[in-house]
């Protein structure tokens, strides 16, 4: 393997090899929804359901995930909230997914309301105005603070949804690969990375299950007519089978952390927190990142650069 590498010393003294490469990122349109509820349980329940089947736009209808919990003193109706982000290739598909996910997953969930969490966005989608039709003519206009909302009668009372939701071009595909000697150390490192990103980063989501992807993909297929297929150079079981394996001796498990965010800087800061946390775990042999030589997207996050971010 001829790729350049450098040694990173983690804050706990553990050392880890980092490949001197970059994560390649691409633009997607993003919407941001603030779900409020009577308590955290129901805010999180709605957020979890509304962000389901949304790991990758390669095959999923959207990319989505939970950003964070919002305290009651920072929400329009003074109730605890959960922030989610939803991504898609264009505004039309994004609007459709926001309507479906808010209508089917948030409106149906006990005690919830849905508000726009990109109020300063230049582009607005009339999401709530579309959902109002469920009220069958009994819906009413209203205000929550200075926000224009619809009050839709449901069997519990009213579902409140903001009339329009802001959308903006955002960044998808930030990533890094954790290569470990075994599944135990690899999974621990991936979990530490996810926890660090949740604790230290903002304006980002990790769309894969629990923030971790074990089935990284490459564009296209060697054998079949597919949009994507298994990333065979990073499959430990294929190291001695394929000529282009990217795995060093001793690597028997690889996990990928994928990050989407509202800005490039937000994604880079999240990657920084995640890489540094993963490097603290003994058994991590190497950390790298996925890219396609600049063909996938216009944004790059070099690992050497993100490591230096505070």
What three-state secondary structure class fits 14? coil
Six-digit token string for 288: 């790298």
Helices (H), 73-125: 91-101
Q: Which element (helix H / strand E) includes 285?
A: strand 284-288
What mean pLDDT do residues 219-231 have? 93
Q: Give helix then strand counts, H and E, for the chain.
A: 6, 17
What mean pLDDT do residues 104-127 have? 98
Question: Is the torsion defined by CA of 84, 87, 91, 96 positive or negative?
Answer: negative
Q: Are 182 and 285 in contact (CB under 8 A)?
A: no
Give the start-to-end residue ranges of the domains of the chain: 5-25+171-307, 28-168
28-168: CATH class: alpha beta
Euclidean distance between CA atoms 106 and 83, whole angstroms: 12
Neighbours of 225 (CB within 10 A): 6
Q: Are 268 and 303 in contact (CB under 8 A)?
A: no
**pLDDT confidence tier of residue 1, bands split at 50, 70 and 90:** very low
Quote the pLDDT of residue 2: 60
**pLDDT confidence tier of residue 296, bands split at 50, 70 and 90:** confident
Q: What is the pLDDT of residues 250-295, one digit of tens each?
A: 999 999 999 999 999 999 999 999 999 999 999 999 999 998 776 7
Q: What is the pLDDT of residues 19-74, one digit of tens each?
A: 999 999 999 999 999 999 999 999 999 999 999 999 999 999 999 999 999 999 99
Q: Are 158 and 151 in contact (CB under 8 A)?
A: yes
**pLDDT confidence tier of residue 228, bands split at 50, 70 and 90:** very high
Euclidean distance between CA atoms 156 and 135, whole angstroms: 13
Quote the pLDDT of residue 114: 99
Q: What percent of the chain has pLDDT over 70?
A: 98
Reply yes or no on domain 5-25+171-307 having CATH 3.30.70.520: yes
Euclidean distance between CA atoms 240 and 244, whole angstroms: 10
Quote the pLDDT of residue 272: 98
What mean pLDDT do residues 129-153 have? 98
Question: Is the torsion defined by CA of 208, 184, 266, 304 positive or negative?
Answer: negative
Report if pTM > 0.85.
yes
**Mean of per-residue pLDDT scores for the chain:** 96
Euclidean distance between CA atoms 217 and 228, whole angstroms: 6
Q: Is the pLDDT of residue 310 over 80?
A: no
What three-state secondary structure class fits 62? coil
What mean pLDDT do residues 110-129 have? 98
Query: How many residues would you count in the chain?
Result: 310
DSSP single-letter state for residue 213: B
Closest CA to 114 of 170, 172, 171, 42: 42
User: Backbone phi, then psi, for 200, in 5-degree steps?
Assistant: -115, -20
Q: What is the pLDDT of residues 162-203, one digit of tens each?
A: 999 999 999 999 999 999 999 999 999 999 999 999 999 999
């Amino acid at each position: 393997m001829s790729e350049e590498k450098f040694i990173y010393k983690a804050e706990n003294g553990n050392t880890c090899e980092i490949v001197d490469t970059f994560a390649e990122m691409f633009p997607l349109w993003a919407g941001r929804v603030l779900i409020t509820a009577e308590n955290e349980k129901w805010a999180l329940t709605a957020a979890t359901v509304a962000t389901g089947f949304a790991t990758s736009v390669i095959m999923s209808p959207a990319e989505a995930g939970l950003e964070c919990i919002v305290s009651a003193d920072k929400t329009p109706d003074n109730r605890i909230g959960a922030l989610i982000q939803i991504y898609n290739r264009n505004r039309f598909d994004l609007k459709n997914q926001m309507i479906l996910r808010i209508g089917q997953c948030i409106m149906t969930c006990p005690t919830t309301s849905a508000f726009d969490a990109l109020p300063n966005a230049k582009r607005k989608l009339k999401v709530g105005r579309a959902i109002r039709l469920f009220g069958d003519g009994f819906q009413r206009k209203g205000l929550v603070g200075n926000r224009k909302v619809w009050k839709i009668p449901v069997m519990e009372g009213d579902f409140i949804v903001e009339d329009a939701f802001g959308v903006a071009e955002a960044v998808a595909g930030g990533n890094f690969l954790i290569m470990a000697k075994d599944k135990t150390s690899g999974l621990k490192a991936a979990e530490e990375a996810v926890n660090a990103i949740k604790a230290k980063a903002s304006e980002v989501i990790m769309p894969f299950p629990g923030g971790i992807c074990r089935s990284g993909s490459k564009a296209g297929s060697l054998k079949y007519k597919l949009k994507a297929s298994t990333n065979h150079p990073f499959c430990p079981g294929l190291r001695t089978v394929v000529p282009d394996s990217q795995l060093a001796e001793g690597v028997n498990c690889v996990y990928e952390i994928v990050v989407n965010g509202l800005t490039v800087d937000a994604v880079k800061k999240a990657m920084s927190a995640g890489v540094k946390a993963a490097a603290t775990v003994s058994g991590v042999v190497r950390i790298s990142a996925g890219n396609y030589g600049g063909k996938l997207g216009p944004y790059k996050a070099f690992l050497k650069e993100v490591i230096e971010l505070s």
